[in-house]
């Protein structure tokens, strides 16, 4: 399977100097297959036009393709209807959309509490801090267990009548640990059925299926560039009844129904939240990328990536002075390490010289790094096109780099 898939990704033939590229930075962004590159070109060559408001042929074609993409996103997430899908520039904008509309709604009050995770990405921390500053609410982080897992017992003790929102990642961007989403949602609903729940799916959509209706959350956000689509694409799913009640957050363009200087009325879902000309091509190609993943099969992808992750985990765990963060089990396609006496940037730089692309730094998770007393980690992350040979090469290069740094 992998050999056929790799041939669809031209960039994987690239060499770093004389070294073959081993691309293990997929948690930051995935590479793009030919079908995605071709879909983007075909849009501009054959149907490029603005959508919804044009009566001409190209506009109709572009509109149909754009709304078909919305249907594909809805199907991918198990949404009740396409109108629950709002196209965004990515997961960050999707989370900010929810936070800003809650601020405008007047439904957040002093003393309300937002429960987040200690290892959350900044984009799932800062919007809630901004909302708390505007409304007098409080942000509370759930601590991690000594094993660096979500602490369910601590979380349950934090739930109260003041809990207004719970926002958490499906899979940790810093650790790769899969959070117990279903259990978290169940306990939140038991505490208060009206508490809002947002799931950050940025690190999950390319690796595991998520049915939003089965999960029982209120919002689900993800970025397209982490699931083989272009950068600047993504979507927010929200329950229709909530989206209907919340106000729009940007004005102009498609989000209006009628405008006068006396009064403006707003469009229906989902256009109420899509002001201005959208990333038409990007959204269409996002739909193609999700279709591509579904054709391969998320279960097949997950099994393959799990094998790679286990192999890398075991190899890294055997190296002297290397600490693999988080447990081996219940893990996504991502591993972070810290090394005694070795700076993560130095390790990443040497690996890059050997053709192995990894990510170093705090991974937009500074509060988590501060909780561990470190400045960052070296992070390896997989996609469907990675191979066992690449894992073995990455392990050899990591050991060689460590020997050079000590």
Q: Which residues contact 289 (CB under 8 A, 6 or more apart)?
A: 36, 224, 227, 228, 229
Query: Contact at 8 Å (CB) between 86 and 138?
Result: no
Is 364 a catalytic site residue?
yes
Q: SS3 for 268?
A: coil
What b/e string do you get for 295-327 counting C-beta neighbours within 10 Å, with b at 16 or more?
eeebeebbebbeebbeebbebbeeeeebebbbe
Of the candidates 35, 364, 365, 397, the residue annotated as catalytic is 364
Q: Which residue has the tokens 């999950």?
A: 204
Q: How far apart are CA 177 and CA 325, in angstroms?
A: 9
Distances (CA, A) of 237 to 75, 88, 124, 177, 293: 11, 10, 16, 23, 19
- The two beta strands, 22-23 and 356-357, are parallel
Q: Which residues contact 338 (CB under 8 A, 6 or more apart)?
A: 322, 323, 325, 344, 372, 374, 377, 378
- How is residue 170 written in tokens? 């499906």
Q: What is the 3-state secondary structure (H, E, C) of 222-263?
A: EEHHHCCCCCCCEEEEECHHHHHHCCCCCCCHHHEEEECCCC
Q: The dihedral of CA 327, 332, 333, 334: what is its sign?
A: negative
- The strands making up 138-142's β-sheet, listed across from edge to edge, are 85-88, 234-238, 219-223, 196-200, 163-169, 113-117, 138-142
Element (H, E) at 115: strand 113-117
Please spell the DSSP secondary structure of 364-386, one letter per residue.
Answer: T-HHHHHHHT-S-EEEEE--TT-
- How is residue 216 written in tokens? 């029982």
- How is residue 377 written in tokens? 């980690």
Catalytic positions, written as ranges: 364
């Amino acid at each position: 399977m992998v050999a056929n898939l790799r041939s669809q990704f031209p960039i994987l033939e690239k060499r770093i100097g004389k070294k073959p590229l081993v691309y293990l930075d997929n948690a930051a962004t995935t590479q793009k297959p030919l079908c995605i590159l071709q879909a983007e070109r075909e849009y501009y060559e054959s149907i490029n036009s603005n959508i919804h408001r044009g009566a001409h042929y190209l506009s109709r074609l572009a509109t149909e393709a754009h709304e078909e993409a919305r249907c594909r996103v809805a199907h991918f997430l198990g949404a009740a209807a396409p109108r629950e899908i709002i196209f965004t520039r990515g997961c960050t904008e999707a989370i900010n959309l929810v936070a800003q509309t809650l601020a405008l709604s007047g439904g957040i009050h002093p003393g309300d509490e937002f429960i987040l995770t200690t290892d959350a990405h900044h984009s799932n921390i800062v919007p809630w801090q901004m909302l708390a500053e505007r409304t007098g609410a409080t942000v509370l982080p759930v601590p991690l267990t000594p094993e660096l897992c979500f602490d369910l017992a601590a979380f349950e003790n934090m739930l109260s009548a003041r809990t207004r929102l719970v926002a958490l990642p499906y899979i940790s961007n810093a650790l790769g640990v899969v959070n117990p989403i279903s259990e978290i949602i169940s306990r939140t609903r038991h505490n208060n059925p009206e508490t809002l729940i947002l799931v950050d799916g940025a690190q999950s959509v390319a690796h595991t299926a998520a049915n939003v209706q089965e999960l029982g959350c209120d919002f689900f956000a993800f970025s397209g560039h982490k699931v083989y689509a272009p950068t600047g694409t993504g979507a927010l799913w929200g329950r229709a009844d909530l989206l209907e009640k919340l106000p729009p957050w940007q004005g102009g363009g498609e989000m209006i129904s009628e405008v006068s200087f006396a009064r403006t009325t707003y469009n229906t879902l989902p256009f109420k939240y899509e002001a201005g000309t959208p990333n038409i091509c990007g959204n269409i190609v996002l739909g193609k990328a999700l279709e591509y993943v579904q054709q391969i099969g998320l279960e097949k992808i997950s099994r393959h990536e799990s094998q790679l992750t286990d192999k890398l985990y075991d190899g890294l765990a055997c190296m002297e002075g290397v600490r693999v963060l988080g447990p081996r089990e219940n893990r996504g396609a991502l591993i972070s390490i810290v090394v005694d006496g070795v700076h993560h940037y130095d390790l990443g730089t040497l690996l890059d010289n050997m053709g192995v692309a990894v990510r170093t730094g705090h991974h937009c998770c500074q509060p988590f790094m501060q909780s561990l007393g470190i400045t960052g980690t070296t992070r390896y992350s997989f996609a469907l096109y990675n191979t066992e040979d690449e894992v073995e090469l990455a392990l050899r290069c990591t050991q060689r780099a460590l020997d050079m740094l000590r």
